[in-house]
């Protein structure tokens, strides 16, 4: 110590710490008030700013008061340096955590603001958070007087060994980044893989993609496998799509009447069933003289992939009811088998040790 510690020194130091605590409390109350006003606005950026400041500013006020208290005490240069260094490290730590949380919140807001996105793409959020924490750690080392150049060199050499040991993990990581950057798949999309798995993409993280099937089960797919497989995305380039339904009527039906009745049922379904597109022009196309019916295709528009099941359900019920009312027949498939007089070969049941034998039978 430079001189003996007196009561006045302790009083001044106590006043400095109390002032820092009071300032931290008042600033926190002010930021809470600002946060309530930010919640009322449509822009989500002010919420993130206030939330970040709510963490940093009170701590900065308290650490400032502690630094003032340390300066008021008759400390030696070494102790004063250690105190200031400790307070600086704490401030850097708080700022790093608040910045990581704030920028991660920005990334999460951006991913959630995309149309049709149900969840956040945590791969970008986690990578951003890790990078900011790593930068903060390097700044702390530099503040403590530790040279980071040898550390960076060691990390470069060690990183090569780690990369060789974690080839599959890194392949999944970069595959996930490529998938999101190319925008071929985004959270909220409905996809179907060549292997048969299908569902809504819940999340794409650093290792795997989580898909929620219509049965509400989760399917976990490594990002590397997803990047290599053939895939159909039913949400891109737009989530609205068309569905094809096959219908058949009897040969004695009046096709103009069938077309008119079918169009009326389509108009009813498009305006009354949730998920249908009333503005989509329906299409009816006769295409086949079948064995027992004249086949035609009905093309309808739906809002998104899962809506098709509800629309098909209602359309088939209403079309069947209307056809019965109008006397339009939907015949069941029939087969006519003609047997000519002559010899027909009928295979006989054989024993395991016997060869195949055919006994001719004459039909008169």
pLDDT > 70: what percent of the chain? 78
pLDDT for 271 beyond 80: yes
Mean pLDDT, the chain, rounded, equals 77
Mean pLDDT, rounded, for 205-226: 86
Specify the pLDDT at position 364: 43
pLDDT for 35 beyond 80: no
DSSP state letter for 297: E
In angstroms, the first-to-last Cα distance of the chain is 129
Mean pLDDT, rounded, for 320-341: 77
345 vs 334, which has greater pLDDT? 334
The Cα-based distances of 171 to 124, 134, 202, 226, 286 in angstroms read 16, 22, 21, 11, 50
What residues contact residue 18 under an 8 Å CB cut-off, 6+ apart? 65
78 vs 256, which has greater pLDDT? 256
Specify the pLDDT at position 317: 93
Whether omega for the bond prior to residue 237 falls within 30 degrees of 0, making it cis, is yes
pLDDT tens, position by position, 148-187: 777 667 666 666 665 555 566 677 777 777 777 777 888 8
pLDDT for 312 beyond 50: yes
Instruction: Label residue 258 by pLDDT band (50, 70, 90).
Output: very high
**Tokens representing residue 300 in the block:** 């309808």
Query: Would you say the pTM of this structure is higher than 0.85?
Result: no
Map residue 177 onto helix, strand or coil. helix
Give the residue among 231, 242, 171 at the shortest CA–CA distance from 201. Answer: 231
pLDDT for 53 beyond 60: yes
Instruction: Label residue 196 by pLDDT band (50, 70, 90).
Output: confident
The burial of 281, by beta-carbon neighbours within 10 Å (0-12 exposed, 13-18 middle, 19 or more buried), is given as exposed
Specify the pLDDT at position 22: 85
**Tokens representing residue 181 in the block:** 């950057």
Dihedral (Cα; 57, 62, 63, 65), 10-degree rounding: 130
pLDDT for 38 beyond 80: no
What is the DSSP secondary-structure string of 64-98?
HHHHHHHHHS---HHHHHHHHHHHHHHHHHHHHHH
pLDDT for 294 beyond 70: yes
Instruction: Label residue 296 by pLDDT band (50, 70, 90).
Output: very high
Specify the pLDDT at position 338: 57
Mean pLDDT, rounded, for 68-89: 77
pLDDT for 286 beyond 90: yes
For residue 208, the number of C-alpha atoms closer than 13 Å in the C-beta half-sphere is: 7
Specify the pLDDT at position 65: 78
What residues contact residue 92 under an 8 Å CB cut-off, 6+ apart? 136, 139, 140, 143
Lowest mean pLDDT across 127-131, 198-202, 319-323: 127-131
Instruction: Label residue 319 by pLDDT band (50, 70, 90).
Output: very high
Lowest mean pLDDT across 28-42, 108-122, 323-337: 108-122
Specify the pLDDT at position 297: 93
Cα 218 to the center of its chain, rounded Å:
12
Q: What are phi and psi of 213, to 5 degrees?
A: -75, 165
């Amino acid at each position: 110590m430079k001189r003996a510690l007196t009561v006045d020194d302790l009083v001044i130091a106590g006043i400095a710490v109390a002032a820092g605590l009071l300032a931290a409390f008042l600033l926190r109350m002010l930021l809470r008030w600002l946060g309530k006003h930010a919640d009322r606005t449509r822009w989500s950026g002010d919420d993130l700013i206030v939330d970040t400041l709510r963490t940093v500013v009170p701590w900065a006020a308290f650490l400032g008061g502690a630094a003032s208290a340390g300066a008021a005490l008759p400390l030696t240069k070494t102790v004063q340096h250690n105190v200031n260094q400790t307070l600086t490290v704490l401030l850097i730590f708080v700022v790093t955590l608040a910045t990581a949380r704030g920028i991660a919140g920005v990334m999460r807001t951006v991913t959630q603001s995309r149309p049709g996105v149900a969840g956040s793409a945590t791969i970008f959020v986690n990578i951003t958070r890790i990078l900011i924490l790593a930068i903060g750690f390097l700044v702390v080392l530099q503040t403590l007087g530790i040279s980071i150049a040898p550390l960076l060199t060691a990390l470069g050499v060690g990183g090569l060994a780690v990369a060789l040991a974690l080839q599959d993990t890194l392949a999944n990581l970069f595959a996930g980044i490529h998938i999101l950057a190319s925008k071929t798949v985004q959270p909220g999309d409905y996809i179907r893989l060549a292997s048969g798995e299908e569902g809504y993409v819940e999340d794409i993280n650093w290792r795997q993609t989580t898909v929620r099937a219509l049965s509400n089960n989760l399917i976990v797919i490594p990002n590397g496998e997803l990047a290599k497989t053939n895939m159909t995305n039913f949400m891109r380039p737009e989530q609205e799509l068309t569905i094809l339904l096959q219908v058949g009527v009897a040969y004695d039906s009046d096709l103009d009447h069938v077309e008119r009745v079918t169009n009326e049922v389509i108009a009813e379904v498009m305006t009354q069933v949730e998920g249908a597109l009333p503005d989509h022009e329906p299409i009816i196309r006769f295409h086949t003289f079948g064995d027992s019916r004249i086949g035609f295709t009905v093309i309808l528009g739906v809002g998104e992939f899962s809506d098709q099941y509800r629309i098909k359900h209602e359309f088939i019920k209403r079309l069947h009811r209307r056809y019965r009312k109008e006397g339009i027949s939907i015949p069941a498939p029939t087969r006519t088998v003609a047997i000519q007089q002559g010899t027909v070969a009928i295979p006989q049941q054989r024993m395991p040790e016997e060869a195949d034998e055919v006994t001719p039978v004459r039909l008169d």
